Amino acid sequence: MQVLIAQLINGVSLGSIYVLLVTGFNLLLLVAMIIHFSYPQVVVFSMYVAWVVLKYTGNNLLLGVLAAVAASILMNVASAPLFQKVMQKRGEVDINSTMVLSMGIGMIITDVLSHSFNKGFPVAFPDALGGSRSILKAGLISLTMGQVVALGVGVIAVSAFFLLLYRSRAGRAFRAIAEDPNGARLVGIPLLSTGFASYAITGLLGGVSAILLAMLIGSASPGLGEQVAHKVLAVSIIAGLGNLVGGLVVGLGLGVLEAVVQGYISGSWSNAIAFVIMLVVILVKPKGIFGVKL
Amino acid sequence: MAPSDVLLKVDDLSVSYGHVQALRGVSLEVRTGEIVVLIGANGAGKSSLLETVLGINRPEAGSITFKGRAITGMAADRVVRGGISLVPEGRGVFAAMSVLDNLLLGAHHNLSNAPANLRRVFEWFPLLGERKNQLARTLSGGERQMLAIGRSLMAAPSLIMIDEPSIGLAPIVVATIFEIIVHLNREGYTILLSEQNAYKALKCAHRGYVLETGSVALTGTAAELLGDPGVREAYLGA
């Protein structure tokens, strides 16, 4: 029982980060109409930016957090014209060609991280970030600062995002474009600038995720982005591409599943087992558990 | 209302989609206070004309002037902001969004006046007010047409373009929709309408243009067109 509770805590906190990432991924898919497969790599790059800033400012936490968020937003907004150019050249929305562009961005990030930071070795975040600080310990159950913050901030960020989506002018335009881009254009919604806003908002979500990941796992490596990217893509497909509510459920589910496997079977097998289970799900429900929303 | 100055002027407009020429040198005028109808068969270029005015298609030749300002090739969101709104063919209602959200989408560039405009739309279409929190997918075809018209009003336009309002609607509903169009015109809205249902449309319009394979075949007052033997044969089934 204690193991289960401990692993549920682990799972939900990791899952809330997956939820943030898959929400950003889905928003780009729905509004900017791109498959930004490498979005998690942008997030991991932002973790590295935070690491560098922490290192050279004597662990100034505020600057570290701001730097990660700024890096993520900047990377996303800077890549927006590239994606939009590719789509314009094709004369129509072409999700496949944007996916190739996204993979290219991902590979460049991975290469830069493995050559230019810490000689390619994984970077460890300083204790000052406080992610591993213990808040509660009872038997096998322990609660760290990183877990509490990941869950708390995750819930706040996702709620704020849904509030924006359902209660604001921009959110209304996002939903209209997601449902029918052509129809949105006919009623006067500017597709380019609204799409641009979605890059900025996913950048913000990504920056927040970067800090939460840094606190929760305490380290980052050049290969982390790709690993997370596979999971985010898988979660989005399993939930149903573009299905925001589905992504919420499946993102949390994957976090819990991984944690439970780690607790009861083996930590080193958690990825493989999670992917086997997802494979089975996708065989049974090819359009995702909650249905594709594109 | 007495038709007076020219609100919209389309001059020698040509539009192609790849190798297909949709419009060949179309010229027309809409004056303030008028209902003008575009008549033509499927594929004659009615929708292409309306969408080009809105800024969806880029013309290869010709010009579009609205309120004396050139709007040729202007992006659709700027044209809408400038005072033209379109009620698209097939309504273009967002089925997964609430009635209220659909209406507010029309006010995307005019949000500060949205409360007052909403009140007016709900006065004219009480049904939309009753169902404002329902998803648009729960509305019938006629109700969706009302929603699409209401949405276009939220932008406080000077010119409303309505693309095939009667398509897919039961005759009794069509009659209601045309009553609404006449009513809007009496309230001061200028309306450019495209319609295959030529009789109904000409009955409520001031003037009309007959489009055939992308060019204007005939133009005149609604009464002239209703009396024209060619029009009667081709579009009125008489």
* pLDDT tens-digit series, residues B214-227: 999 999 999 999 99
Indicate whether B146 belongs to any domain: yes
Cβ-contact A167, A174 below 8 angstroms? no
pLDDT at residue number A268: 80
Would you put residue B43 in left (φ > 0), alpha (ψ -120 to 50) or beta? left
Indicate whether A209 belongs to any domain: yes
Domains contained in chain B, number: 1
Query: Which range marks the domain in which residue A69 is found?
Result: 19-224
Query: Residue range A179-193: average pLDDT?
Result: 93
Query: Residue range B112-136: average pLDDT?
Result: 95
SS3 A56: helix
Q: Encoding tokens for residue A54?
A: 């922490």
Query: Residue range B53-61: average pLDDT?
Result: 94
Question: Quick one: closest CA in B to A179, which residue?
Answer: B94
Neighboring chain A residues of B77 at a CB cutoff of 8 Å: 185, 188-190
pLDDT at residue number B2: 44
Neighboring chain B residues of A186 at a CB cutoff of 8 Å: 51, 54, 56, 76, 86, 88, 92
Distance CA A188, CA B155 (A): 9
- Phi, psi (5° rounding) for residue A190? -75, 115
* CATH for B199: 3.40.50.300
In terms of pLDDT, which residue wins out, A96 or B137?
A: B137
CB contact under 8 A, B92 and A190: no
Indicate whether A195 belongs to any domain: yes
Indicate whether B28 belongs to any domain: yes
Indicate whether B1 belongs to any domain: no
Q: Which residue, B40, B51, B53, is CA-closest to B7?
A: B53
Q: Which tens digit of pLDDT belongs to each residue from A195-207?
A: 999 999 999 999 9
Question: Quick one: closest CA in B to A193, which residue?
Answer: B77
Over 90: is that where the pLDDT of A132 sits? no
Indicate whether A48 belongs to any domain: yes
Q: Which residue, A120, A127, A123, is CA-closest to A215?
A: A127
Average pLDDT, chain B: 93
Q: Which tens digit of pLDDT belongs to each residue from A219-235?
A: 999 999 999 999 999 99
CB of B91 within 8 Å of a chain A CB? The answer is no
CB contact under 8 A, B96 and A175: yes
Q: What is the ipTM of this complex?
A: 0.92
Average pLDDT, chain A: 92
CB of B108 within 8 Å of a chain A CB? The answer is yes
Neighboring chain A residues of B89 at a CB cutoff of 8 Å: none
Domains contained in chain A, number: 1
Indicate whether A289 belongs to any domain: no
Query: Residue range B77-98: average pLDDT?
Result: 95
Indicate whether A168 belongs to any domain: yes
Over 50: is that where the pLDDT of B1 sits? no
How much of chain A exceeds pLDDT 90, in percent?
74
Q: Which tens digit of pLDDT belongs to each residue from A8-60?
A: 999 999 999 999 999 999 999 999 989 999 999 999 999 999 999 999 999 99
Using CB atoms, which residue from B95, B105, B152 is nearest to A172? Answer: B105
Look up tokens 């690993």; give the residue: A227
pLDDT at residue number A19: 97
CB pairs under 8 A between A and B: 63
Distance CA A128, CA A101 (A): 37
Q: Which residue, B139, B186, B161, is CA-closest to B1?
A: B186
Cβ-Cβ contacts under 8 Å for A120 (sequence gap 6 or more): A113, A114, A222
Distance CA B189, CA B160 (A): 7
- Phi, psi (5° rounding) for residue A38? -90, 10
Over 70: is that where the pLDDT of B213 sits? yes
Cβ-Cβ contacts under 8 Å for B210 (sequence gap 6 or more): B39, B40, B216, B217, B218, B219, B225, B231, B235
Cβ-contact A97, A103 below 8 angstroms? no
Look up tokens 């020429």; give the residue: B21
- Report chain A residues touching chain B, CB-CB < 8 A: 169, 172-173, 175-176, 179-180, 183-190
- Interface residue of A168, A180, A186 to substitute, partner B, most B CBs within 10 Å: A186
Q: Which tens digit of pLDDT belongs to each residue from B89-111?
A: 999 999 999 999 999 999 999 99
Edge to edge, the sheet with strand B207-212 lists B84-87, B159-163, B190-195, B35-39, B207-212, B215-221
Task: Count CA atoms closer than 13 A to A246's CA, side-chain side.
Answer: 22
pLDDT at residue number A169: 95
Q: Which residue, A144, A160, A165, A256, is CA-closest to A208?
A: A160
pLDDT at residue number A93: 65
Query: Which range marks the domain in which residue B206 is found?
Result: 6-235
How much of chain A exceeds pLDDT 70, in percent?
98
Using CB atoms, which residue from A172, A186, A190 is nearest to B88? Answer: A186
SS3 B135: strand
Q: How confident is the model at residue A76 (pLDDT cuts 50, 70, 90)?
A: very high
CA-to-CA dists, residue A171 to A165, A168, A259, B106, B191, angstroms? 4, 5, 34, 14, 31
Q: How confident is the model at residue A91 (pLDDT cuts 50, 70, 90)?
A: low
Over 90: is that where the pLDDT of A162 sits? yes
Neighboring chain B residues of A189 at a CB cutoff of 8 Å: 77, 105, 108
Edge to edge, the sheet with strand B69-70 lists B20-31, B6-17, B61-66, B69-70
Cβ-contact A189, A177 below 8 angstroms? yes
How far A179 CA sits from the closest chain B CA (Å)? 7
CB contact under 8 A, B79 and A179: no
